[in-house]
Chain A
Amino acid sequence: MVEGIFTIRNKLGLHARPAAAFVKKANEFNSSIWMEKDGTRVNAKSIMGILMLACPAGSQVKLTVEGNDEDIAIKELGSFIESGFNEL
């Protein structure tokens, strides 16, 4: 299991479009992936969970990844978040 804390950097935060892109990316991995914000943890492979977190710009989220491709998954998903979901 690997964990990492990442910052939402794009201006509009983690809204519907980047959430969809993120979930799509998360589903490319076999590992179980969880996203946590302020103590609420959701399955990062489901868009409803991610949307529920309603992360504004500047907020921090924790990713927890567990599975055979966890290292590559957290690296790619983490940098996707830090890159502002390619919206910067």
Chain B
Amino acid sequence: MKGITVQSLLEDKSYGLELELIAGSKGVGRKIYNPRIQKLGLVITGHMVYLHPHRIQILGNTEMSYLKSIGDEEGERIIKELCKNDVVCFIVTRNLKVPSFFLEEANNRAIPFLRSKLITSVFIERITKLLEEKLAPSTTVHGVLMDIIGVGTMIIGKPGIGKSESALELIAKGHRLIVDDVVYIKKMGAIDLYGESPGMIKNLLEIRGIGIVDIGRLFGVAAVRDKKRIDLVVELVEWHVNEEYDRVGFREDKYRLLGIDLPLIRIPVSPGRNISTIIELACRNFILKKQGINTALELEEKMLSITKVEEKH
């Protein structure tokens, strides 16, 4: 299971969390696995029933002012009770002052205590983004990911069927390569899958007979792209005489990945078929379908209207 350390939150520069460590330095190696945070809320009154200790616990004005209002003795009792639950990490916002008994308890139990200057709402928004990004479910798929007229298209198929060769043709036509061979895929939010390249093979393409080439250098910056949402999966399959392929366009196959169904188009490969042009066509048709225009269905409706009229006569 993926996890990030509290230390990496402290070191973060790209999400603007503006964090400092104020207690529990022994615990900065603790790992956070849960992408959700919890605003301490009622827990601070001693109601521990819905405390989720494996989530980052956030304290804002509400919690800190309540803690102040009940006095040190009662406050200390609740905090001791709270820290018994082995909370992964506390973060206080608005640069608020934290009572010394709270910091002491965090130190004793090696629970890292962090502070941010940001107001709570902004902080929660930023940290949620960071956690989602870093803890997103991920997988790798053997295929090529390309941006074809804005459609994130993942080309899959058996080794040697011509994925990379098709990609090269598509690049030559002005489309953009995200990654060849090992597509690293992350699930962002509930419905989106994003593909990117592992660092080692970024911008590279392997063409049998030539070897490994750098597309970024050979074709320029516009021929490559870091990251793209995956919209469509194209599977290249060997052409079998006896198999029936979609001739009209009614079939709507799906490719399931990290619990999300992506539209899947199977393209049979045989000599004389220009695969890159067919893939490009599939992408154009995908855009058209997204706009609500389905040529196969339109044709069917037209046919039906005529055949129905003829029935009446």
Interface residues of A (CB under 8 A from B): 16, 27, 40-43, 45-49, 51-52, 54
Question: Among the listed stretches B197-205, B216-224, B298-306, which one makes contact with chain A, having 4 or more residues with CB under 8 Å of it?
Answer: B197-205
Q: How far is the CA of A42 from the CA of B212 in the complex (A)?
A: 17
Q: Of the candidates B181, B198, B200, which one forms a contact with A46 in the assembled complex, judged by CB atoms under 8 Å apart? A: B181
* B197 → chain A closest CB, angstroms: 9
Given A40-B140, A52-B182, are A45 and B159 neighbors across the interface (CB < 8 Å)? yes
Q: Of the candidates A41, A43, A45, A54, which one forms a contact with B200 in the assembled complex, judged by CB atoms under 8 Å apart? A: A54
Complex contacts, A52 vs chain B, CB 8 Å: 181-182, 198, 200-201
Between A16, A42, A49, the greatest number of chain B beta carbons within 10 A of the residue's beta carbon is seen for A49
Q: How far is the CA of A48 from the CA of B159 in the complex (A)?
A: 12
Complex contacts, A51 vs chain B, CB 8 Å: 200-201, 212
Complex contacts, A43 vs chain B, CB 8 Å: 142, 159, 181
Q: Of the candidates A40, A45, A47, which one forms a contact with B212 in the assembled complex, judged by CB atoms under 8 Å apart? A: A47
Interface residues of B (CB under 8 A from A): 140, 142, 159-160, 180-182, 198, 200-201, 204, 206, 212
Q: How far is the CA of A85 from the CA of B198 in the complex (A)?
A: 25
Other than the given A49-B181, A54-B200, 9 more pairs (CB < 8 A) read A16-B212, A27-B160, A42-B140, A42-B142, A45-B159, A46-B181, A47-B212, A48-B182, A48-B206
Residue of A whose beta carbon sits closest to that of B198: A52
Do A48 and B140 touch (CB < 8 A)?
no
Given A27-B159, A40-B140, A41-B140, are A46 and B206 neighbors across the interface (CB < 8 Å)? yes
Q: 20 A-B residue contacts at CB 8 Å?
A: A16-B212, A27-B159, A41-B140, A42-B142, A42-B182, A46-B142, A46-B159, A46-B182, A46-B206, A47-B212, A48-B180, A48-B181, A48-B206, A49-B181, A49-B182, A51-B201, A51-B212, A52-B181, A52-B182, A52-B198
* B206 → chain A closest CB, angstroms: 5
Complex contacts, A49 vs chain B, CB 8 Å: 142, 181-182
Complex contacts, A42 vs chain B, CB 8 Å: 140, 142, 181-182
* A48 → chain B closest CB, angstroms: 4
The 7 closest A-B pairs by CB, nearest first: A48-B181, A45-B159, A43-B142, A52-B200, A52-B198, A49-B182, A52-B201
Q: Is chain A's interface secondary structure helix, strand, loop, or mixed overall?
A: mixed
Complex contacts, A27 vs chain B, CB 8 Å: 159-160
* A57 → chain B closest CB, angstroms: 17
Do A47 and B206 touch (CB < 8 A)?
yes
Q: How far is the CA of A54 from the CA of B199 in the complex (A)?
A: 11
Complex contacts, A40 vs chain B, CB 8 Å: 140, 198
Q: How far is the CA of A41 from the CA of B291 in the complex (A)?
A: 37
* B213 → chain A closest CB, angstroms: 11
Q: How far is the CA of A43 from the CA of B180 in the complex (A)?
A: 12
Complex contacts, B201 vs chain A, CB 8 Å: 48, 51-52
Residue of A whose beta carbon sits closest to that of B159: A45
Residue of B whose beta carbon sits closest to that of A46: B181
Q: Of the candidates A41, A45, A48, A54, which one forms a contact with B204 in the assembled complex, judged by CB atoms under 8 Å apart? A: A48
Q: How far is the CA of A16 from the CA of B200 in the complex (A)?
A: 12
* B137 → chain A closest CB, angstroms: 13
Given A42-B140, A42-B182, are A48 and B212 neighbors across the interface (CB < 8 Å)? yes
Q: How far is the CA of A40 from the CA of B159 in the complex (A)?
A: 18
Between B142, B180, B204, the greatest number of chain A beta carbons within 10 A of the residue's beta carbon is seen for B142
Complex contacts, B212 vs chain A, CB 8 Å: 16, 47-48, 51
Between B140, B160, B182, B206, the greatest number of chain A beta carbons within 10 A of the residue's beta carbon is seen for B182
Complex contacts, B160 vs chain A, CB 8 Å: 27, 45
Q: How far is the CA of A32 from the CA of B256 in the complex (A)?
A: 20
